[in-house]
Amino acid sequence: MSDIDAILSHVDNNHGPSVDGFVRLLEFASVSSQEDGRQGIADCAAWLKSELDGIGFETRIIPTAGHPLVLAKTAYVGALPRVLLYGHYDVQPAEPFEDWTSRPFTPDIRREDGLDRIYARGASDSKGQVWSVIEALRAWKAVEGSFPFDVTVLLEGEEETGSPSLPKFIEDHRQDLACDVAFISDSDMWSRTRPAITTRLKGLVHEKVTVIAPNGDLHSGHYGNVAANPVRVLAKLLAAIHDDEGRVLIEGFYEGAGDLPQSLRDQWEALSVEEAAAGVDLRGYYGKVGEVEAMWGHPGVDFNGIVGGNTGPGERSVLPASAYARLSFRLVGSQKPDKVRMAFRNFVQARIPKGCRVEFEGEGGSTPVSIDETSPFIAATVRALDAEWPEPTLFKGTGGAIPLVGFFTDLLAVDCVVTGFIQSDDAIHAPDERYDLERLRKGTRSWVRILAELDLHFGTSAETRVS
């Protein structure tokens, strides 16, 4: 049996060095969606390998068509359960830099509101999550000398671009990844005091739509009342997507969205959406507000960007030749990315005036995932989290797509447990992204407790104890 109290004490006593390592991890500009993030990705992967090797893993950096994965395995133990721990070390772009208080890849620790906050791109999403896992393993190894079962750590460098290389990697490395349970460390708590396991994950489709006039740029004074204006066409198009209550009017969009289990709806009904989106001002939303279910369980369409015509600082009398918007679709239930994309394209085509053209850009996407809340691995995780945090663990949903959960579910046919310690006011994907060092410590302790629960209730040595 592992000495859980000794391991937890080790975590607490080594908080300083743990923070130092975290700062180092945050200094890598591992932006996966930008060409000049390539070096930061490579350096970050190499550094993570050295850290994992240092703990005693056999670690490989595995190249892909995109960015490499870091795959670390314990020396073969042969005991059950086989555990896979997943995280991602790539980050979102940090632009616009001028909106950051400190530089995004120069971590800055500030004492605020009784917390030691660390500001950096990736602090919360997801390097803070990755680092808690690594530090838990380090503490376990330091105290126990070895792991009681086979542990595989998989760190991805393409999560923020939708994990394009992961499916092929999983197929090529089924043997390496074979496991009884996969933990995905990249999700939110309910609150600073209440942990959560995410069991409902929305699917995601990105799409760019460009409206093109039959002419080049025109003088808007001369042709304003008679020639097509792509900005006007695009605005009309986007405005037609939602009704006044926020319901999506794209024909066929809701096909397969289905309904949630009543037990989950009841649990969510009791929650406050203001708390679910703590730190976010929800005023100004077009549509029905006040439903956690809408946030976690309903599909939707978002406009992520729009560009057309004069984008410069001065006035310019132009009818632009084209204008485009970037949209994303969040799916639930059994909605299919390809069907949703086609429904949108048909919706647009039916509304483009003759003479204008439309171009679409986008492919693939991720399917929604629902995880059975009654799985025994979920129950073990609930026990571990309940022991660490003041309030009982909540099952939640998320609109932030984690496509890899779908890949693990579909390709490895394994139980997934999605948990993590992100807060809604961590400003992930935004300027001034942050985390706090107390959550780093308690996150690390949580992973120690989860490993101990697995050892206690599923480990080979525990076989006589479980029914």
Residues 329-348 that bind its own copies (CB under 8 A): 330
Question: How many other C-beta atoms are found inside a 10 Å radius of the C-beta of residue 240?
Answer: 13
Give the separation between CA 227 and CA 218, rounded to whole angstroms: 9
- β-partners of residue 154 are 71, 86
Per-residue contact string for residues 280-299; x = within reach of its own copies by CB under 8 A: xxxxxxxx-x-x--xx--x-
Query: How many beta carbons lie within 10 A of that of residue 115, not counting itself?
Result: 15
- Part in contact with its own copies (CB under 8 A); list of ranges 7-15, 111-119, 275-283, 412-420: 275-283
The phi and psi torsions of 331 (rounded to 5 degrees) equal -110, 155
Which residue in this structure is represented by tokens 């089924």? 174
Report if residue 219 touches its own copies, rule: CB under 8 A: yes
Does residue 115 bind its own copies (CB under 8 A)? Answer: no
For residue 182, how many C-alpha atoms fall within 13 Å in the half-sphere facing its CB? 25
CB of 115 to its own copies, least distance (A): 19
Residue among 210, 310, 334, 375 that touches its own copies (CB under 8 A)? 310
Buried-state track 175-189, b at ≥16 Cβ within 10 A, e below 16: ebbebbbbbbbbbbb
Binder among 80, 271, 307, 414 for its own copies (CB under 8 A):
307
Query: By CB under 8 A, which span of 16-24, 301-309, 410-418, 455-463 interacts with its own copies?
Result: 301-309
Per CB under 8 A, contacts with its own copies among 246-265 are 246
Exactly one of 63, 221, 261, 392 binds its own copies (CB under 8 A); that residue is: 221
Look up residue 133 and give its two tokens.
Answer: 């896992």
Interface with its own copies (CB under 8 A), residue total 95
242 binds its own copies (CB under 8 A): yes
User: Contacting its own copies (CB under 8 A), which of 23, 62, 79, 235?
Assistant: 235
Count CB atoms within 10 A of the CB of residue 257. 18
Q: Is 94 or 380 the residue whose CB approaches its own copies more closely?
A: 94
If one asks whether residue 216 binds its own copies (CB under 8 A), the answer comes out as yes
Rounded to whole angstroms, the Cα distance separating 459 from 447 reads: 16
Q: Restricting to residues 377-416, name those near its own copies by CB under 8 A.
A: 398-401
d(C-alpha 283, C-alpha 161), whole Å: 30
With contacts defined by CB under 8 A, name the span among 52-60, 279-287, 338-346, 450-458 that binds its own copies: 279-287
Residue type, 162: G
Q: Which is nearer to its own copies, 2 or 161 (CB)?
A: 161
Q: Considering only residues 424, 438, 457, 462, which one is a binding residue for its own copies as defined by CB under 8 A?
A: 424
Burial classification of residue 192, based on how many CB atoms lie within 10 Å of its CB (0-12 exposed, 13-18 middle, 19 or more buried): middle
- Closest by Cα among 287, 67, 92, 57 to 176: 57
Could you say whether residue 233 binds its own copies (CB under 8 A)? Answer: yes
Q: Would you state the structure tokens that stand for residue 202, as one six-digit string?
A: 């929305």
Name residues contacting its own copies, limited to 361-380 (CB under 8 A).
Answer: none
Is the distance from CB of 308 to CB of 234 less than 8 angstroms? yes
Closest CB to its own copies among 261 and 353? 353
Cβ at position 459, least distance to its own copies in Å: 36
Q: Looking only at residues 76 through 95 of this chain, which bind its own copies when binding is defined by CB under 8 A?
A: 92-93, 95
Distance of closest approach, residue 172 Cβ to its own copies, in angstroms: 25
